[in-house]
Chain A
Amino acid sequence: MKAYDKVLAARAGGRPTAASFIEGIFTDFIEMHGDRRYADDPAVIAGIARLNGRPVTVIGIERGATLEERMRRNFGSAHPEGYRKALRQMRLAEKFRRPVVCLVDTSGAACDIGAEERGEGQAIAENLTTMMGLRVPIVSVVIGEGGSGGALALAVADEVWMLENAVYSVISPEGAASILWKDAGAADRASECLKLTAHDLRRMEVVEHVFRERDGWPRVYDNLRAALWKALGHYAGMGEEALLAHRYEKFRKIGRMGEA
């Protein structure tokens, strides 16, 4: 598949959303609402579930499966209160010593007057610094679209994984094409240039694992459950200082090929 075909596949209507992944991977999910500061953002679902019986905190960006759902969830574009809801759940995960799993699927953070008034940039930034120091394991999985800062706000993790048709980019290919060539129709060309496919990101060592989709979704959920079980066990046994040092170094090394 060409890069832009992957972008379209990642956004496709029939593709399962975060709620389906939670259902397929975990048991006993109990959803927690609200950021205790302003509101409950339906674009983010968060709560506690069991992974093979043990408690984990699960946070997902939810696009919605039907048109009605999509509108209610702002098409998976979170407002500051969505990132602050996630932050609250991550702090609770740290307090009660359970690992965090994030499921990322968004074309980007909400882009409107309210999002800016309530500090979208500050909300994302606070997640980045908090996750950098969170003393429990974090694994983030890009299950569909990973759109820029709005995706990164839930993807500062010990490992970042992607599904094989997921994409993760600093800007949408349409946005890049309209800035670079004043032509949003050149999105297919921009997709190639941006190197946004799972395999591109694996090659650049931005993600650790790419999961096959071709065997069907039940197999994907089984594979993710097994991989999460292994990874979270590994990181939970590492010791807090080593865990944080490892997470720091994962991002510290990206783009360090310069002179001097």
Chain B
Amino acid sequence: MILEKQRGGLSTGRSISKTLFRKPRNALEGGERAAAEAVAPNVPDRLMEACPGCKAMIFADQLAQNAGICPNCGLHHRIGPARRIALIADPGSYHAVNEDFTEPNHLGFPGYDEKLRRARAASGAAEGVATGFARVEGCPCALYVMDPAFMMGSMGTAVGEKITRLFEAATARRLPVVGFTVSGGARMQEGILSLMQMAKTSGAVRRHGDAGLLYIAVLTDPTTGGVTASFAMEADITLAEPGALVAFAGPRVIEQTTHQKLPEGFQRAEFLLEHGFVDLIVDRRSQRATIARLLRLHGEEAWT
């Protein structure tokens, strides 16, 4: 439920230009930018941003070409559905479903309409998850990708409904589901209705599984709260991105509740792997190949 302090930093155009126009925080930063501009004097659009992992200044286009991974420290920066789909799906193979699906402010929660408006402006999407069908190295699958720019992928009734519909459609079409999670948890502005989405999505995941179909989840930074306690942790195969925070209660809440110092690397993907909750940690650049291999092992190559 509680959003952790942003670690990955959103790679959106907006944050990049803000970085460009803000004053350098220290001499080194300013100096590096001057040096970078000297290297590329004829590219005025070559924007830079500070990597939240190593604090180095990185060119935005360099980051984009590297799948949003810092070339200096390897931090997997947060990316949105459009870039993720481009990295995973075969070109031109993705077809979105329920793209404009929204739900009303069921509880009349104060300030929620305005929050939704801002989330739509920031993400360019109607809701916090993209769902559709695609091919990965030729293997057909249903695909969902949660959106960190939309209220940090929080799950309300629209997200729950879109995920549920995707699993139901995948069950009907006998397709595997590949899903990328990123979430601050349940969306509190929808009260109990958002909590119920955990049960609803779990029902759809269960039916898909009972039909003998494969579900692969890829946990990305951060995956927390009600999403961790439902469809993120219900896959047949659970992959995670390096360094991703995956938790039920976030580290700040635990620190405040217990007044204990948290162990090094607590709740990171590597910690979950060590404790038996993740099958494999996969670098973003090799996810497409890994997912395709897994889909083939459960599809055309499977015993009949």
Residues of A whose CB lies within 8 Å of any CB of B are 109, 111-113, 115-122, 124-126, 128-129, 132-133, 148-149, 152-153, 156, 168-171, 175-176, 179-180, 193-196, 200-201, 204, 206, 247-248, 251-252, 254-260
Contact = CB atoms under 8 A, between A and B. Distances in A.
18 contacts: A109-B249, A113-B263, A116-B266, A117-B275, A121-B248, A125-B231, A129-B209, A153-B229, A171-B186, A176-B188, A254-B157, A255-B157, A255-B158, A255-B196, A258-B104, A258-B157, A258-B158, A259-B100
Contacts of A252: 164, 200, 203-204
Given A112-B257, A118-B275, A128-B199, A179 B234 contact: no
Contacts of A255: 103, 106, 156-158, 160-161, 190, 193-194, 196-197, 200
A152 B197 CA distance: 11
B203 A113 contact: no
Interface string B201-223: 01111110110000000000000
A149 B275 contact: no
B192 A195 contact: yes
Given A128-B202, A132-B202, A121 B232 contact: yes
A254 B197 CA distance: 8
Given A116-B254, A129-B206, A257 B106 contact: yes
Contacts of B65: none
Interface in B259-294: 260, 262-263, 266-267, 275-277
B103 A149 contact: no
Contacts, number: 187
Nearest to A128: B202
A21 to B, nearest CB: 22
B254 A112 contact: yes
Contacts of B111: 180
A161 B158 CA distance: 25
B103 A258 contact: yes
A153 B204 CA distance: 16
Contact of A113 (B109, B156, B157, B258): B258
Given A195-B191, A255-B161, A148 B1 contact: yes
A116 B249 contact: yes
A195 B190 CA distance: 9
Given A121-B228, A256-B157, A170 B260 contact: no
A148 B186 contact: yes
Nearest to A190: B188
Given A152-B196, A255-B196, A258-B104, 16 more contacts: A111-B253, A111-B257, A111-B258, A122-B277, A125-B202, A128-B234, A129-B206, A149-B195, A169-B192, A194-B188, A204-B106, A204-B192, A251-B200, A255-B106, A259-B101, A260-B100
